[in-house]
Chain A
Amino acid sequence: MTGKKLNMITQRAVEEGIAMEIGKTSREYFDACNIIEMNELDMKELGIMKNTNVRVTSESGQVIVKAVVARQTVYPGLCHIRQGVWANQVVPPRTQSTGAPQYSGFPVTVEPAPNEKLKTALQLVQGAVGLWKGE
């Protein structure tokens, strides 16, 4: 397994906003939010092919997302998951005593996981609290 420490930020995107208003259980939300935007150099170094799945692990959890090269580019060493259900699987809840969690600027390991499946928003959230009834 190859992995590399990257610096993660999670912020808003207009696609996420539109999809959120359509509904968080919609296909649009699934497509808008379960991606990690990376720099091409990092992807090359980690052996990650464009549009394949990766495992992102932080101090507080892990999530499978799809790696893409974004139009809104990041520099090497930085990566971005749009705010929402997938991002919050790895966002550390520490707040520096302000109430605001560490949504931006926390270390993650990214490694190729092309055979892993993406989970839906409901599967992740209901699964975390023991309510998921599906597969």
Chain B
Amino acid sequence: MPKVIENVGCPYCGCSCDDVRVTVSDDGKKVLEVENVCAIGTEIFKHGSSDHRIRSPRLRQPDGSMKDITYDEAIEWVAQHLYKAKKPLMYGFGSTNCEGQAAAARVMETAGGMLDNCATICHGPSFLAIFDNGYPTCTLGEVKNRADVIVYWGSNPAHAHPRHMSRYSIFPRGFFTGKGQKKRTIIVIDPRYTDTANVADYHLQIKQGHDYELFDAFRMVVIGHGKDLPDEVAGIKKEKILEVAEIMANARFGTTFFGMGLTHSDGRNHNIDIAISLTRDLNKVAKWTIMAMRGHYNIAGPGVVWSWTFGFPYCLDLTKKDHAHMNPGETSSVDMAMRDEVDMFINIGTDAGAHFPIPAVKQLKKHPWVTIDPSINMASEISDLHIPVCICGVDVGGIVYRMDNVPIQFRKVIDNQGLLDDETLLNRIADRLDELNAQGA
């Protein structure tokens, strides 16, 4: 009899949907059906029980081909290389549970290396702004139950967070929002006419890279200098700015969701900084909150886990072991790669091969490259060693942090069939490193 498992977590985007229903086969090895999940999540569960999954570590041979090796051999290879490396970098964790992230912290502290997560190329600038200016945020439950004005700024959830609008922001009927979309005003600020803009009440087609000016204009209106605005700011007419600012100021409960449009453009952290300042100004006349649209289901996790371990969420320099240090620009992965500062690279639960600018990939590839990831991807196909692991939410459970920093327990739905999970693998590498350090001492 196929078994139905309820309330399963989906390991894709920052929505971390935890209402998925998964039907698995008799022997617990195959996913037969998934419900309540977006098109992307469906592919993850399908991939999880695919016959094409790599189930054994692979080591690159001198002729360029890959040869299957055992987990023991792979662990020894990684530990030996980490022991020799002066400044190894472990980067990734977009798709790793918190238990794995804690074990990774142990590995890099023991090895004395650099530890970074995908936020470094994603919401890292948001962290910088949050350190400087605070984070007046809320949970997604509050958005669903209270929010009557929603702003998506530089963010396209219709594509990047497919269930965000239906589960939390635009469409759901909540405790104080019983009429759902009918009583909500949606404002999308984006240089493209995105599919999200298509369902919005207002689309402000901002000139790309000019977000700071538009935030500044909204701040002027909110603090009472609207009449002094120029006729046009960042490609948006004054009348439109005044109209939208009026809606924001009259919100019962408003939320600004911001995405990569702000953090990847000129200004970086300054765009977020002023978004937070606007939220503070709006709170003098209304109730407003702000939230980063985190990209992966547990990319908030390393920020939380490493903050309580070392005091910093990303870009960690652990080369002095128990004395942690963080300084993006100096200790961030892409910057270190471009200066060719690291002498070993471990790519875990992400794909730097596909998602780093190619000059950074070329620099990192000068040194030993290990990929720890369930899938064949660009990083695995250029690495010296590829170690496959379980997929969190499919063949291993664990704690994950949703984009609003709410922890959720993910479930295991199918048998791991001999695959190691990140936590076990990393702890075994750390154990071996401890032995090597003890022998060397």
Contacts and interface: CB of A to CB of B under 8 A. Distances in A.
Contact of B358 (A14, A88, A99): A88
B128 A88 contact: no
Interface residues of B, number: 64
A125 to B, nearest CB: 4
Contact of A61 (B40, B191, B355, B359): B359
B328 A93 contact: no
A85 interface: yes
A71 interface: yes
A104 B376 contact: no
B207 to A, nearest CB: 8
Interface string A85-96: 100110111011
B160 A12 contact: yes
Contacts of A100: 120-122, 124-125, 263-264, 268, 334
Given A99-B315, A99-B328, A131-B64, A14 B162 contact: yes
A1 interface: no
Contacts, number: 184
Contacts of A17: 12, 39-40, 159-160
Given A12-B156, A98-B124, A133-B64, A104 B355 contact: no
Interface string B262-279: 011110110000000000
A51 interface: no
B309 interface: no
Interface of B: 12, 39-40, 43-44, 47, 64, 116, 120-122, 124-125, 128, 156, 158-160, 162, 191-195, 205, 208-209, 260-261, 263-266, 268-269, 295, 314-315, 328-329, 332-335, 337-338, 351, 353-362, 365, 375-378, 381-382
18 contacts: A12-B295, A14-B159, A14-B162, A18-B39, A21-B12, A21-B43, A22-B43, A74-B192, A75-B191, A84-B355, A88-B355, A93-B334, A98-B128, A98-B329, A101-B121, A103-B264, A104-B261, A125-B353
